Structure 1
Amino acid sequence: MRRNQAQQHHQQLTRNSTSRKDTWIAVHVSVDHIVLPHTDLNFAAQLVANVTGIAPSGGGSHHTAGTRNIIFPLGASYLELVTVDDHIVAAGHPFGQLVTAALDSCRWAAGWAVAGPTDPVRACTLERAGVAVSVQGCDEAAAAPDRPFILERPSDQPFPGDTENPTELTRLVVTGPDVAPLALPPGPTELVRRPGPAAIESFTLARPGLPPITLNRDLWSTR
């Protein structure tokens, strides 16, 4: 069943994609959230709030992963600011490894997630304050942040991105050695894949009544 779903998603993206000389563009991709790492979580949260005009809402410690996060809700998606609190614990958990790899490599963005079914054999649990999700592919994403990891959230669990003041994630630009189409769930975000070292290049937010804003590696140098 999952194999058929993946094939359907691939066909959907193929129908909604445009090939260009050096760019492969897929529209209507659903991004659950984007992970932004920083060694100083409070500083990063204040900076993101100043730059985007979005107020943080929620977050906490992932005790089994050695990480801690702050959530910036967008509505259909969200930004997850995250840091490592316990490097020993983080080294033993795929999500902790993802965040550690990004910090060690000075990446402005650690990865991005799509919602979908996970494999119980390959997935692991990520918990904080009574909230638990299943994640898969964090180890692969640590080496290739242009590719998403998968997150499965219980149907009765609130979505962290819910907000009365939504901001649309309109575009996500990634670079990687392979620009072939990915089998991803359809959604509102345009995914742009370009040849280059594996990385998240930028993403664009559309704020009600305000000009769109594009965030990239210069975010953490903003004052």
Structure 2
Amino acid sequence: MNAIPPFLDHLVLAAPDLAAAVAEFTRRTGVAPAPGGVHVGRGTRNHLVALGDRSYLEIIGPDPEQCAPGGPRPFEVDGLTTARTLTWAIAPPDLDAAIAAARDQGYDPGPATPMSRRRPDGTLLRWRLTDGEDAHPSGLVPFLIDWGDAPHPTAADLPRTPLLTMSGSAPDPDGIRPLVRSLGTELALTTGPVGLSFTVDTPRGPVTFG
């Protein structure tokens, strides 16, 4: 199995305090994540780091400059007590075909929902992704994303920490593997508590985040 899953778009490192998570990543790696943008109306913002090719790390947390949203913030960041790698996303060549293929194999990743955020330079990015209540609760089964005509986040000359490996664990990995494969990708899985981890190459050597 490949150390890096096919069609990987990004990993999601969520935190209750975004500034603290960004500072910790910088301290451990020697690489400072770049401001990504604001999720208007959802109460979050993010910082980004390129992982190589067209993949990146999203560090996401509450945006102190926004009013509290009407519903829960994405990735349940309000319920976190520490930064955690919660889930990941893939960008298949055809999002709608990938959803249909997964449903044919017995897994429904949910409908594709339009979303947007504004970059610090004012550029509005729009994309579609499978999101919400249909996501597998473990976070080990990726959600799907399609950037359409929008510039991919990695086109913004992000700071870079090449991804070396990523893996997950679950009490019943054999129950997770078919769901991941139904989406046309793979994830190295072992038996253990539910969790995702990844290792990046940095100026300070390989660093692992969980």
Q: Which TM-score applies when normalising by structure 2?
A: 0.71
1:125 to 114, 121, 124: 114
CA apart distance, 1:118: 3.5
| SS of the residue 1:167 aligns to | coil
| SS of the residue 2:60 aligns to | strand
Q: Name structure 1 gaps, 5 residues minimum.
A: 1-16, 18-24, 217-223
2:189 to 183, 188, 193: 193
CA apart distance, 1:161: 2.6
Distance 1:52 1:138 in 2: 32
Q: Which TM-score applies when normalising by structure 1?
A: 0.67
* Corresponding residue number in structure 1 for 2:104: none
Q: Name structure 2 gaps, 5 residues minimum.
A: 100-109, 119-123
The CA RMSD over aligned residues, in Å, is 3.0
- Identity, in percent, stands at 28
* Corresponding residue number in structure 2 for 1:206: 201
CA apart distance, 1:112: 0.8
Distance 2:192 2:166 in 1: 15
Matched, 1:58 2:35: yes
Distance 1:139 1:215 in 2: 26
* Corresponding residue number in structure 1 for 2:19: 42
Distance 2:158 2:88 in 1: 23
CA apart distance, 1:150: 0.7
Matched, 1:108 2:84: yes
CA deviations 1:172-208 (Å, max 9, x no partner) are: 111233242423556xxx83211334321x101124x
| Corresponding pairs, count | 181
| SS of the residue 2:205 aligns to | coil
Q: Which amino acid aligns with 1:48?
A: F
Cα pair 2:52 2:162 within 8 Å, conserved: yes
* Corresponding residue number in structure 2 for 1:3: none
Q: Which amino acid aligns with 1:112?
A: W
Matched, 1:82 2:77: no
